[in-house]
Amino acid sequence: MKSKELFSNNQIQQERIVKESRKLKKVNKLLNLIFLGGLTFLASGCIGLDTSGRFNEAKPSFSIEMPISKEEKPKKKLSKDSEREKDTNDEKRESIISSFREKHMEEFQALSAMKNKEEKLKEVFGGLAPNEAGHYLVYLEGEAVDQYYGFDIWQISPEMTAEVFGLKREIYGTQEPALELTGLETIDGEISPEKLRDLIQTLPQHWVNGEVSSIKQIDNKGDMEYRDGIKWTTVGGFRRESNKDSHTGQIVFYYESRYYSFGEIMKTVYHEMAHANDWDDDDDVKYNDKLDLLIKIADRISAPDRYLSEYVESIKRDTPEKTRYTEALEYWAEICSIYFSNPANLPLPDIEIVDWWIHKNDQNFDSAAQLTRRDGLLANLGDKASIGLAQR
Amino acid sequence: MKLEIRNKNREFLALIEINSGGVNFIDTGSDSSFRKFVIGALEKGIPEFREEEENGIIKILERLVIPPDPNFPLIFKNFIERNGYSVLDERALAVRKEIELILSALPDSNDKKLILEKIQKLFYAELILVLRELKD
């Protein structure tokens, strides 16, 4: 009996050693891949990963109450005859509404799923959370009622449909103005417009085309102001136009930006471009995906392993919801700018999120290859002696 | 805040400790050009950035920070990141320690030796990936 037990223990131990050895070999293979491809491997492994956890997409619900406001509901005094008439009408009404729902089943399903996501976001961001699906759902329910009463109150505009089911690009048109660039002077030298264009071409093209129309450095000096005895200088700005003719952003750097390094100025460009490609502004991504992005970022801003940005960490607004929403906007812009400049400094979940978002539209974008190209371009920019502005 | 600084080729440059009063180089073997970069930057002041929205325009604001300043540690960390350096903060160093601890419980082998060598050059995201695999 004892020798049997001993044999069994030896077997277990042997199996454990084999298992551990296999695991070590696997880890070693992983490390070889990392050293071989660096972040190429990381990035390609990231696509499709989900940051589920706190925010689980709830199952779509179909128990939608039809909201009929008092103004729209016909007011009648009911006699016995009219009560009978009402019963028949109720049946007729239900039948019309239910056939409307059946006809629009897919829309109702999709909207309910999106509305659930909006509700989750509302818990974090309060009234600042997006509410397009909930709004659309009210209109769709209204249309169902209209079918019965023969009203034409709840009209869904093509803009609303495009906003929720399509792309903002459909509202604002497809014009993609050529990117206007000036040279950028830095303490490291000058980035000529041609070199800046080369650098921009290393970014995912959906992030640039139709999202940002100009990057300029101008001679104007930025405003200065003192707050609590501290001098703050405006060194640049980002203007986003939102109208039928134009829905692109313009990045401007003022004179003071000439004291920045290549790295600093390009990080600012990436940061502002990220704003043009967030859940609020991106014209090329569907609303449902935008909700997913905001859910992922909402999760990250309070994660213990989040990327530590002094700017994001110090954000304070007059309500907790406003603070959290601003943190989300700026956290997104910060992790994008690190992703494009030096992703080694990002926690893995953030690399995964940015990578997932980029590949929504730029499926063939090779993050690591473009990073290497970008680094190469930045290493060979300008004549360092030509500027001589190292000291302010 | 303790930071290990590396260049993009994963070469060790310095181990520094940052507090509100400034930067201390812990390791005497730190890279001289990085040390020069830090000293030069501290003399000029470290840029800190904010954004403010006004009439649909996001204004980019900057101030120059010279220690002592309560926000200096993160401001400085972000500054060296913007300038192309790779930074491993205490969380990354803790992940590396955790990997070492898991490995120490395993019998010696060539694979273990190689892993222990290689993890010294990994960045935060990569360390997390290795830890995930080891715990799997």
Measured between CA atoms, how close is A177 to chain B, in angstroms?
Answer: 20
Q: How confident is the model at residue A84, as a pLDDT?
A: 72
Single residue among A171, A205, A229 that ends a domain in this structure: A171
% of chain B at pLDDT higher than 90:
89
Nearest to B130 among A31, A231, A344 (CB): A31
Residues A183, A284: one domain? yes
Q: Contact A348/B128, CB-based, under 8 Å?
A: yes
Q: Is residue A64 part of a domain?
A: no
Across the range B81-89, mean pLDDT stands at 94
Helix, strand, coil percentages for chain A (3-state, nearest 5): 60, 10, 35
Residues of A in contact with B119 (CB under 8 A): 31
Residue A44 lies in a domain: no
Residues in chain B with CB shorter than 8 Å from the CB of A21 are: 109, 111
Q: How confident is the prediction along chain A (392 residues), in pLDDT tens digits per residue?
A: 566 777 788 888 888 888 899 999 989 888 888 887 665 445 544 433 334 322 222 322 222 233 333 333 344 455 667 677 767 778 888 888 889 889 999 999 999 999 999 999 999 999 999 999 999 999 998 888 888 787 777 888 888 888 899 887 777 665 666 899 999 999 888 999 999 999 999 999 989 988 899 999 999 999 999 988 899 999 999 998 766 556 788 999 999 999 998 889 999 999 999 999 999 888 889 999 999 999 999 999 999 999 999 999 999 999 999 999 999 999 999 999 999 999 989 999 999 999 999 999 899 999 989 999 998 998 887 544 333 344 55
What pLDDT sits at residue A386?
39
- The predicted pLDDT at position A62 comes to 27
- At A70 the pLDDT is 34
Regarding whether A294 and A167 lie in a shared domain, the answer is no
Task: Please report whether residue A53 resides in a domain.
Answer: no
A238 in a domain, yes or no? yes
In this complex, how many residue pairs, one in chain A and one in chain B, have their CB atoms less than 8 Å apart? 147
If asked whether residues A303 and A272 sit together in one domain, one would say yes
Quote the pLDDT of residue A297: 98
The nearest alpha carbon in chain B to A348 belongs to B125
pLDDT at site A67: 34
My answer on whether A280 and A368 are in the same domain is yes
Q: Is residue A94 one of the residues assigned to a domain?
A: yes
Counted domains in chain A: 3
Q: Which of A188, A337, A348, A372 to mutate to test the interface with B (most CBs of B within 10 A)?
A: A348
Say yes or no for a CB contact (<8 Å) between A238 and B57.
yes
Q: How does DSSP assign A322-381, residue by residue?
A: HHHHHHHHHHHHHHHHHHHH-GGGS-HHHHHHHHHHHHHH-TT--HHHHHHHHHHHHHT-
The reply to whether A8 and A118 lie within a common domain is no
Contact B109 A232 (CB under 8 A): no
Chain B partners within 8 Å of A23 (Cβ): 133-134, 136
Does residue B119 have a pLDDT over 50?
Answer: yes
Q: What is the per-residue pLDDT for A63?
A: 29
Judgement on whether residues A109 and A241 belong to the same structural domain of the protein: no
Q: What count of other Cβ atoms lies within 10 Å of the Cβ of residue A202?
A: 19
Question: Do A205 and A271 fall into the same domain?
Answer: yes
- Cα A159 to Cα A52, A130, A175, A244, B50: the distances in Å are 31, 16, 17, 11, 34
Same domain, A235 and A87: no
Average pLDDT for B45-72? 93
Q: Of residues B119 and A385, which shows the higher confidence score?
A: B119
The residue out of A111, A146, A171 marking a domain boundary is: A171
Residue A167 and residue A189 in one domain: no
Domain edge (last residue) among A171, A186, A210: A171
Domain containing A242 equals 175-386
CB contact (8 A) between residue B107 and residue A20: yes
pLDDT score of B45: 94
- Same structural domain, A201 and A307: yes
With CA atoms as reference, report the closest residue to B35 among B87, B80, B93. B80
Task: Kindly state whether residue A210 falls inside one of the protein's structural domains.
Answer: yes
Residue A355 falls inside a structural domain:
yes
Evaluate whether residue A143 is within a structural domain: yes
Q: Which residue of A17, A308, A347 is in closest CB contact with B125?
A: A347
Question: Which residue from B minimizes the CA distance to A19?
Answer: B106
Both A145 and A181 in one domain: the answer is no
Give SS3 for A80: helix
Q: Looking at this predicted complex, what is its ipTM?
A: 0.94
- State the alpha helices, DSSP H only, in A126-192: 132-149, 158-165, 168-172
- Does A181 lie in the same domain as A163? no
